[in-house]
Amino acid sequence: MLTLAVRDAEDQVGEQQVAAGPAVAHLLPADICRRHHVLPVEFNDGVITAVAPEGIDPKAEAEIREQTGFETRWLIGETAEIDLAIEQLFTGNGQAEPFDRVEFSADDLLKSGLVLAPQLGDMLASRGLVTEEQLSAALAEQERTGDRVGEILVHGGAVEELALLRVLSEQLDLPMADLSKFDEAKAPLDAVPEAVQRRYGCVVFAADMETVYVAVPNILDSDVEAEIARSSGRKVEQFLAPRNEIESLLRRINREAYSQYARYNLRENHPESSAHLVVTGGQKAGLIAGVLVLAAFLVWQFTTTVTVIFALLSVMYALTSLYKLMAGYSALEHRYLMDTSPATLQAMDERDLPMYTILVPLFKEAEVIPYLVAGIESLDYPKTKLDVRLLCEEDDPETLEAILSLDLPPHFNPIVVPASQPQTKPKACNYGLLGAKGEYVVIYDAEDRPDPEQLKKAVLMFEAGDDSIACIQAKLNFFNQQTNMLTRWFSIEYSMLFDLVLPGLDARHDPIPLGGTSNHIKLSELVEVGGWDPYNVTEDADLGVRLHQAGYRTTMMDSTTYEEANTNLGSWVRQRSRWIKGYIQTWLVYMRNPFQLLSSVGFKAFMSFQLLIGGTFIFLINPFFWFLTTLFALTQAGFIEKLFPGWVYYLAAALLFLGNFTFMYLGLAAAARRGDDRLVPYALFFPFYWGLMSIAAWKGFSQLFTNPFYWEKTEHGIDLQGGAEGKAKPTPARGVVG
What average pLDDT does this structure show over 398-405? Answer: 94
The answer to whether residue 15 is domain-embedded is: yes
Please determine, for residue 733, whether its predicted confidence score (pLDDT) is greater than 70. no
The answer to whether residue 167 is domain-embedded is: yes
pLDDT-based confidence at residue 189 (cuts at 50, 70, 90): confident
Residues 83 and 117 in one domain: no
What is d(CA 44, CA 42) in angstroms, rounded to the nearest whole number? 7
Please determine, for residue 655, whether its predicted confidence score (pLDDT) is greater than 80. no
Count Cβ atoms below 10 Å from residue 287 Cβ, excluding itself.
Answer: 11
Q: Considering the entire predicted model, what is its pTM? A: 0.81
The more confidently predicted of residues 357 and 176 is 357
pLDDT-based confidence at residue 334 (cuts at 50, 70, 90): confident
Residues 61 and 98 in one domain: yes
The more confidently predicted of residues 601 and 97 is 601
Phi/psi region, residue 440 (left: phi>0; alpha: psi -120 to 50; beta: rest), is beta
Long-range contacts of 421-424 (CB under 8 A, 24+ apart): 421/709, 422/263, 422/534, 422/535, 422/709, 422/710, 422/711, 423/363, 423/393, 423/711, 424/534, 424/535, 424/537, 424/539, 424/709, 424/711
What average pLDDT does this structure show over 615-622? Answer: 88
What is d(CA 231, CA 735) in angstroms, rounded to the nearest whole number? 41
Mean pLDDT is lowest, of 249-263, 619-633, 714-728, for 714-728
What per-residue confidence (pLDDT) applies to 12?
A: 63
Q: How many CA atoms lie within 13 A of 631 on its CB side?
A: 11
The answer to whether residue 658 is domain-embedded is: no
pLDDT-based confidence at residue 118 (cuts at 50, 70, 90): very low
User: In the chain, what percentage of residues exceed pLDDT 70?
Assistant: 91
- Cα four-point dihedral sign 244, 249, 254, 259: positive
What per-residue confidence (pLDDT) applies to 257?
A: 95
User: β-strands 211-216, 235-240: how paired?
Assistant: parallel
Please determine, for residue 415, whether its predicted confidence score (pLDDT) is greater than 80. yes
What per-residue confidence (pLDDT) applies to 671?
A: 87
Render the burial of 177-214: b for 16+ CB within 10 Å, e for the rest: bebeebebeebeeebbebebbbebbbbbbbbeeeebbb
Please determine, for residue 88, whether its predicted confidence score (pLDDT) is greater than 90. no
Structural domain that includes position 239: 184-253
Mean pLDDT is lowest, of 97-101, 373-377, 412-416, for 97-101
The answer to whether residue 236 is domain-embedded is: yes
| Rounded-to-10 torsion of CA 677, 683, 685, 686 | 150
Residues 40 and 97 in one domain: yes
Beta partners for 127?
none
Please determine, for residue 457, whether its predicted confidence score (pLDDT) is greater than 50. yes
The answer to whether residue 475 is domain-embedded is: no
- Cα four-point dihedral sign 317, 318, 321, 322: negative
Residues 145 and 233 in one domain: no
What average pLDDT does this structure show over 562-578? Answer: 92
What is d(CA 447, CA 365) in angstroms, rounded to the nearest whole number? 9
The answer to whether residue 247 is domain-embedded is: yes
pLDDT-based confidence at residue 522 (cuts at 50, 70, 90): very high
Q: What distance lies between CA 143 and its chain's CA centroid?
A: 27
Please determine, for residue 718, whether its predicted confidence score (pLDDT) is greater than 80. no
What per-residue confidence (pLDDT) applies to 242?
A: 94
pLDDT-based confidence at residue 97 (cuts at 50, 70, 90): very low
What per-residue confidence (pLDDT) applies to 557?
A: 94
Please determine, for residue 723, whether its predicted confidence score (pLDDT) is greater than 60. no
Q: Which of 227, 253, 279 is the last residue of a domain?
A: 253
What per-residue confidence (pLDDT) applies to 23?
A: 61
The more confidently predicted of residues 430 and 307 is 430
What is d(CA 461, CA 451) in angstroms, rounded to the nearest whole number? 15
What per-residue confidence (pLDDT) applies to 594?
A: 93
- Cα four-point dihedral sign 99, 105, 107, 108: negative
User: Are 649 and 640 within 8 A, CB to CB?
Assistant: no
What per-residue confidence (pLDDT) applies to 719?
A: 65
What per-residue confidence (pLDDT) applies to 261?
A: 96
What is d(CA 57, CA 240) in angstroms, rounded to the nearest whole number? 38
Q: Which of 224, 253, 282 is the last residue of a domain?
A: 253
What average pLDDT does this structure show over 186-190? Answer: 89
> Can you point out the beta strands (E) in 518-622?
519-522, 553-563
Residues 10 and 96 in one domain: yes
Give the count of domains, the chain: 3
DSSP one-letter code for 91:
B
CA angle 226, 231, 232 (to 5 degrees): 100
Residues 119 and 68 in one domain: no
Please determine, for residue 112, whether its predicted confidence score (pLDDT) is greater than 60. no
What is d(CA 117, CA 113) in angstroms, rounded to the nearest whole number? 6
| First CA to last CA distance, the chain | 40
The answer to whether residue 117 is domain-embedded is: yes
pLDDT-based confidence at residue 109 (cuts at 50, 70, 90): very low
Phi/psi region, residue 636 (left: phi>0; alpha: psi -120 to 50; beta: rest), is left
Long-range contacts of 64-71 (CB under 8 A, 24+ apart): 64/28, 64/32, 64/38, 67/28, 67/29, 67/32, 67/118, 68/27, 68/28, 68/114, 68/115, 68/118, 69/114, 69/115, 70/43, 70/46, 70/114, 70/115, 71/46, 71/47
What per-residue confidence (pLDDT) applies to 372?
A: 92
Most confident of 145-149, 316-320, 565-569, 580-584: 580-584
Residues 196 and 247 in one domain: yes
User: Are 135 and 121 within 8 A, CB to CB?
Assistant: yes
Please determine, for residue 187, whether its predicted confidence score (pLDDT) is greater than 70. yes
What is d(CA 20, CA 446) in angstroms, rounded to the nearest whole number? 52
Q: Which of 151, 172, 193 is the last residue of a domain?
A: 172
**What Cα–Cα distance (Å) separates residue 588 from each residue in 26, 273, 287?**
64, 10, 12
Q: Give all strands of the β-sheet with 211-216 in edge-to-edge order.
A: 203-207, 211-216, 235-240
Please determine, for residue 488, whether its predicted confidence score (pLDDT) is greater than 50. yes
The answer to whether residue 9 is domain-embedded is: yes
Residues 139 and 221 in one domain: no
SS3 labels along 107-133: HHHHHCHHHHHHHHHHHHHHCCCCCHH
Question: Tell me, what amino acid is at 624?
Answer: F
Spatial neighbors of 125 by CB under 8 A, at least 6 apart, are 131, 132, 135
What is d(CA 702, CA 394) in angstroms, rounded to the nearest whole number? 29
Give the model confidence (pLDDT) of 59-78 as tens digits: 888 888 777 777 888 888 88
CATH code, domain with 216: 3.30.300.160
Please determine, for residue 276, whether its predicted confidence score (pLDDT) is greater than 80. yes
Please determine, for residue 625, whether its predicted confidence score (pLDDT) is greater than 90. no
Average pLDDT value for the chain: 86
What is d(CA 440, CA 357) in angstroms, rounded to the nearest whole number? 6
Please determine, for residue 422, whether its predicted confidence score (pLDDT) is greater than 70. yes
Spatial neighbors of 731 by CB under 8 A, at least 6 apart, are 373, 374, 377
Mean pLDDT is lowest, of 256-265, 310-319, 402-411, for 310-319
- Classify residue 216 as exposed, middle or buried by CB count within 10 Å of its CB (0-12, 13-18, 19+): buried
Q: What are phi and psi of 39, to 5 degrees?
A: -140, 115
- Cα four-point dihedral sign 720, 721, 725, 728: positive
User: In the chain, what percentage of residues exceed pLDDT 90?
Assistant: 53
What per-residue confidence (pLDDT) applies to 725?
A: 41
What per-residue confidence (pLDDT) applies to 180?
A: 83
- Cα four-point dihedral sign 376, 378, 379, 382: positive
Give the model confidence (pLDDT) of 132-179 as tens digits: 888 888 888 988 888 888 899 999 989 999 889 988 888 888 899 889
Residues 28 and 67 in one domain: yes
Give the model confidence (pLDDT) of 524-547 as tens digits: 999 999 999 999 999 999 999 999
What is d(CA 360, CA 442) in angstroms, rounded to the nearest whole number? 9
What per-residue confidence (pLDDT) applies to 716?
A: 65
Beta partners for 212?
207, 236
Residues 21 and 91 in one domain: yes
Nearest in space to 618 (alpha carbons), one of 318, 305, 180, 295: 318
Mean pLDDT is lowest, of 29-43, 370-384, 587-601, for 29-43
CA angle 601, 434, 470 (to 5 degrees): 30
Residues 15 and 67 in one domain: yes
Residues 86 and 16 in one domain: yes
